[in-house]
Amino acid sequence: MMRRIALVAALSVVAWPALADDAVLATSKAHKLKVIAEGGANWCAPALRLRMELDADSPDIGSPAAQTEMMNRLKTPITNDCKLATSADMIVVEAGKAAGSYQARAAGGWVFVPAPPAAQAKAAVPPSFPSPPSSAVPPTQMDYFDAVARWLRDNPAVADDEGTLRLWASHRYGREYTQVQSQEFKLRPVLDRARTDLADFLKRPQGDTVLVIARTNFGPYDFAARRFPINDIGNQVAYERPCCFNTKLPSSLVVKLQDIDAVIAMPMGPEAAQAFAERRTQYGSVNRTIYLALTVRLESGGFKPNGWGGAVTLGTVEGVAFYPDDRLAAPILAVDATEFARWRQARAEQRDEAVRLAAEREAEARRQRLLAQRDQTVRVLASAPISTRLASFIGEGDISTRARLDNLRAARAAALMAGRAVPASLLVQADVSGRVNVQTRWPGKLTLSVPDSLPAVDPSRWYLVRGLLSVPEGDGLPVATLAVQALYACTQDRCADAADPAALVDRKLGEGR
């Protein structure tokens, strides 16, 4: 069994939490770091893959000399616990971001040296993140301080606020700031250095595309759809301000994610899915936690106040990579912008189809209700006013005994008072045939405007029409115009056929089909 040691002999071993696929080779509480051997229980191999993870406040951040000194203390655990090993590759991760790559060989006494430039570049920019269609600045993983920098570019005066400088000094210098935070004379040089460092940070190129990391879970495998469903991710990510700093910075910086609902599943064939689940099974339980790296294009204009002491901006998801753990080392699946656009389109079509089916179900339910009550409804309508029957005939939705055809005089008054077109349903007879500015014989002082999607009116017939009625400004009694939206050509004088209760109910039953 692998033994875990402390890198500094004077300190006791710290029980760092490890993922199922991790083997913690060594830890240091004083230096606030740990060394991970990748591969879990099978970490021991001729070529070791190691990772040194430094906390955000580790004193060794930015110091390759201190880091390699700690690496070179690994000779004992490597030679004791993995006699197969002949080489080791080490990636240094500072506060969650790759910062360098090193190599060591058994023949060289397990002394770590910087890796060749090609390996360094590979370690510094993980190639597995999905890329947007085009970006002048490559996407970087967004954290609180990256979000703060974006906000400070639009609020530069706050960058010189002492609370902001204290927060930045705590982030960048960790233990050094902690030791002098209450000593104004020793603190001043640290804040001056933080001011310069923050100013340099704000000058760095910053594109409109970032990587947002989200933690979620996958559900039981869907054999029919050949995929693992993904639990709800939420539609926003919030970067909270660290505690206990008296600063003018927003309490939180929120990115609202658009099109995140396209990420509903992780497609995978059955054989690959079974192997994936078995690798994540321990003591009969599947570790279903995964991490998503979302490629997000931020909306121009930056963060805006949200009314709660924080600030918010919008971002559109353009790609996603699925990772087995928070190391984001090798993806399970990466979906680039082109493929994600297909996902987004498929999701939109699913939503549209769901809306259509829901409308069809509601229409059918309404038709069934009406069918079950047909005879009773016919009897009720027989005693209802003719205006009610005609209004229900041309109207939308269910039959209503409260419906009435509009009186032209009242509809004109409503349009004049509102200063805009108002809905109206009328019984009309045209004076001439046509579509545009068709004068009416009944009720008069009204013209019709009929769209090409509906038949032209014929002066020999009566019509039920529904649309938007408008009245032009002017003295006297200007002619009103009805922009027709629905039209029924009656077969009898004054639309007596449409006033027939049975015909009305059957029309509504037909609309539900």
Burial class (CB in 10 A: 0-12, 13-18, 19+), 246: exposed
**Residue 328 φ then ψ, to 5°:** 55, 40
Pairing state of beta strands 47-54 and 87-94?
Answer: parallel
Residue 65 pLDDT > 80: yes
- What are the Cα distances from residue 341, in Å, to 133, 192, 234, 391? 11, 47, 19, 46
Reported pTM: 0.53
Q: What is the pLDDT of residue 10?
A: 25
377 vs 399: CA distance, rounded Å: 9
| Mean pLDDT computed over 10-36 | 62
Instruction: State the sign of the Cα–Cα–Cα–Cα dihedral 362, 366, 369, 371.
Output: negative
Range 392-407 average pLDDT = 91
Task: With CA atoms as reference, report the closest residue to 399 among 251, 512, 265.
Answer: 512
Would residue 128 be called left, alpha or beta, if left means φ above 0 and alpha means ψ between -120 and 50 degrees?
Answer: alpha
- Residue 3, pLDDT above cutoff 50: no
How far, in Å, CA of 325 to CA of 331, rounded? 9
The CA-based angle 86-91-97, given to 5 degrees, is 170
At residue 432, does pLDDT exceed 60? yes
Is residue 411 scored above 80 in pLDDT? Answer: yes
Buried b (16+ CB within 10 A) or exposed e, 248-279: ebbebbbbbbbbbbbbbebebeeeebeebbee
**Average pLDDT over every residue of 429-433:** 94
Which band of pLDDT confidence, cut at 50, 70 and 90, is reported for residue 160?
Answer: very high
pLDDT in tens, 351-399: 999 999 998 898 888 778 877 888 888 898 999 999 999 999 999 888 8
Residue type, 294: L
Position 44 pLDDT exceeds 90: no
More confident residue, 206 or 357: 357
Residue 276, φ and ψ in degrees, nearest 5:
-65, -45
Pairing of strands 113-114, 140-141: unpaired
β-sheet with 5-6: strand ranges across: 5-6, 22-28, 33-38, 47-54, 87-94, 97-105, 113-114
> What pLDDT score was predicted for residue 491?
94
Predicted local confidence at residue 8, as pLDDT:
33
State the chain's mean pLDDT as an integer.
86
**Reported confidence tier of residue 172, pLDDT bands at 50, 70, 90:** confident
Q: Which residues of 64-100 are buried (b: 16+ CB within 10 A; e: fewer)?
A: eebbbebbbbbeebbeebbeebeebbbbbbbbeebbb
| pLDDT of amino acid 1 | 41
The answer to whether residues 149 and 253 touch, using CB atoms and an 8 Å cutoff, is no
pLDDT of residue 63: 86
Percent of the chain with pLDDT over 90: 52
The model's confidence at residue 486, banded by pLDDT at 50, 70 and 90, is very high
The Cα 216–Cα 266 span in angstroms is: 12
pLDDT tens for 242-266 read: 888 889 999 999 999 999 999 999 9
Q: Is the pLDDT of residue 511 over 80?
A: no
The SS3 assignment for 359 reads: helix
- Omega of the bond leading into 443 within 30 degrees of 0 (cis): yes
Percent of the chain at pLDDT exceeding 70:
90
Query: Taking 50 as the threshold, does the pLDDT of residue 14 lie above it?
Result: no
d(CA 359, CA 161): 57
d(CA 253, CA 87): 44
Answer left, alpha or beta for residue 445, where phi above 0 means left and psi between -120 and 50 means alpha: left
Where residue 128 falls among pLDDT bands split at 50, 70, 90? Answer: low
For residue range 177-189, list pLDDT tens digits in order: 999 999 999 999 9
